[in-house]
Amino acid sequence: MYPILEKRALAEQIWLMKILAPRVARSARPGQFVIVRADERGERIPLTISDYDAAEGSVTLVIQAIGASTRKICALGEGDALADFAGPLGRPSEFVSTPPEELRRKRFLFVAGGVGAAPVYPQVKWLHERGVAADVIVGAKTRGMLIYTEPMRAVAGQLHIATDDGSEGDKGLVTQVLERLVGEQGRRYDECIAIGPMAMMKFVALATKKYGLKTTVSLNTLMVDGTGMCGACRVTVGGRTRFTCVEGPEFDGHEVDFDEAMRRQGMYRNEEQRAAAIEAEREAGHQCKIGLDK
């Protein structure tokens, strides 16, 4: 069992959980993920690591309660425990293996959309600790949906915020901020790393391609079983079939077939809706039984 050391709300239906998992904490690197289960009958859920502390033995996850299984996990509290916590899985971010001297000569631009700010944070933090400059663009629908802005501000060279409604930062999309920085202001970056909704990453990659800016994207939202065996994470990259769970989750954004990836992402929507309906019926029955017992 893996105890929950800390739980707090970051935004509506978005929770931060710090889990006691010493072995994973000692081995984790930016870009990797874990597989968790709420209980012995629970679904395997792949979640990208949002932070880790080897000394404390803790791993931090950010979970959005959008389906039956993630809602079950988010219903747990401090002192409860997860049944399984497997990892770290996937390949670390490419820059982790770059020699320090070469890395410090580079300048990175990160683009995070929504919950994507959580897996971006450990990457920016890791670079900051090694003296590497990284600017960050964080986007969300509204100010209330922004997460990780203060921790990000502490490790980023410059933090730029964009909200759809203009309630904080620039009004508009993250791609508009990117175009201003690179296209209008002529800022030079060696690599862009984008993590967030699939459509956002697609348009970030289209924007950076115009400028010849190397772009890496994380396809973590495609993962289902986390081992590559189910095949749900298949994606075409550079004309080749790749498996996100074992060969990623990060790939060259200019070579990803995003249209195919978005179609694959929607394959299990009906199953998820059915699972949510079953869970709602089960909960309604449970509440009814409580009422009768009274």
Q: Which residues are annotated as a binding site?
A: 62-64, 230, 233, 245
CA separation for the pair 40, 59 (Å, rounded): 21
Report in angstroms the alpha-carbon separations of 56 from 1, 20, 217: 17, 8, 30
Which of helix, strand or coil describes residue 215?
strand
Position 179, amino acid: E
User: Following DSSP, what letter does each residue of 77-108 receive, concatenated?
Assistant: -TT-EESEEEEEESPPPGGGGS-HHHHTT-EE
Nearest C-alpha neighbor of 208 from the set 228, 188, 234, 178: 178
Q: What share of the chain is helix, strand, coil (3-state, %, to 5)?
A: 40, 30, 30
Residue ranges of the binding site for [2Fe-2S] cluster: 230, 233, 245
Sheet order of strands, 2-11 included: 81-82, 2-11, 14-20, 58-64, 45-53, 33-37, 84-89
Residue ranges of the binding site for FAD: 62-64
Which of helix, strand or coil describes residue 12?
coil
